[in-house]
Amino acid sequence: MTPEADARLPRAYTTPGSASFVEFLAAHDPGLLPEGRVLPAGDAPVAPHGTTIIAVTYDGGVVMAGDRRATAGAMIASREIEKVFPADEYSAVGIAGSAGLALELVRLYQLELEHYEKIEGSLLSLDGKANRLSTMIRSNLGLAMQGLAVVPLFAGYDLDRGAGRIFSYDVTGGRYEEHDHHSVGSGSVFARGALKKLWRPGLDATGAVHVAVEALYDAADDDSATGGPDPVRRIWPVVATVDAEGYRRVGDDELAALAAEIVAERTAANDARRGVRRTSASNPSDEPRPVPPEDLGDGGARRTDSEGDAP
């Protein structure tokens, strides 16, 4: 019997080597890595896909938000999937693309950062974390070419700079630093348009959360694969802030109040455009009343919910 045969762990587990868990796994048992699996030839089957992720910087930190919908073709595969996760104490990662592979990539990435911290006794820099994620995405290129692409969004608090930073990626592992705000996923084109109008310098954490949720609301309004806040099922986006105090997930009660505030603001703005004055909570049975002509700025035209311009 060899000394290795009666040891608790194989020699590979006790031999000093790289601080990268992915590199260790690739050398010891590459079949456990996503890219180590051989898929049959042909197109990949229809699988759930995660959609819209948003990141917004504010003074002293960054917010990341993701909707809760996953789609499989034209169908809703899940209404409650979570797409925003803590990468470590001072960073967050959001997933878009093939949901199953993306969730596995996140778990492996979390383990990679934890392994480095235990081996080296210190945190990896934010740039180092972004580079590690880039390498892991690049190794998934073979699966991406078969239709199982994963395109995450990474953000975190830079302890050296004292600021929040955002990084985006492509399927080849290309890493790009974004400034102020960014979005990925099927609803990103609509979310980015909203972010350009809503974001402003000097936001605090509360204001940045409001911007992120409102941008998700806009994305859900135009993209069928993005799910907006669902007050009936009490399903809210996953929203997290990352700053000098670390990663913090925003509570559902806070998001419910924020969603109600956004809906109320948009309802009031829409009614103002239509010239309709809503009933108060004390008279819920009243029909919507037209606004008096003297209150209108369009020459006195009057409108109601059910009527066109009154003579």
Residue spans per domain, the chain: 49-264
* pLDDT exceeds cutoff 80 at 221: yes
Note if 51 is an active site residue. Answer: yes
What is the per-residue pLDDT across 263-275, written as a single tens digit (0 to 9) for each?
Answer: 999 899 888 888 7
Catalytic residue selected from 2, 14, 15, 51: 51
Q: Which residue has the higher pLDDT, 6 or 247?
A: 247
Q: Which residue has the higher pLDDT, 210 or 22?
A: 210
| Separation of alpha carbons 263 and 39, rounded Å | 46
Please state the pTM of the whole predicted model: 0.78
Residue whose tokens read 């996923």 = 185
End-to-end CA distance of the chain: 101
The predicted pLDDT at position 305 comes to 46
| pLDDT (average), residues 142-168 | 87
| pLDDT (average), residues 167-188 | 94
Nearest to 214 by CA among 179, 239, 231: 239
What is the per-residue pLDDT across 88-107, written as a single tens digit (0 to 9) for each?
Answer: 999 999 999 888 888 888 99
| Mean per-residue pLDDT of the chain | 82
* pLDDT exceeds cutoff 90 at 244: yes
What's the CA angle centered on 249, arms 248 and 251, to 5 degrees? 125
Work out the number of other CB atoms within 10 angstroms of the CB of residue 210.
18
Report the percentage of the chain scoring pLDDT > 90.
52
| Separation of alpha carbons 226 and 213, rounded Å | 12
Does residue 192 contact residue 219 with C-beta atoms inside 8 Å? no
Of the candidate CATH numbers 3.20.20.80, 3.60.20.10, 3.30.420.40, 2.30.30.100, the domain formed by 49-264 belongs to 3.60.20.10
| Separation of alpha carbons 195 and 29, rounded Å | 44
* pLDDT exceeds cutoff 50 at 131: yes
What is the per-residue pLDDT across 29-80, written as a single tens digit (0 to 9) for each?
Answer: 666 666 555 655 656 566 677 789 999 999 999 999 999 999 988 889 899 9
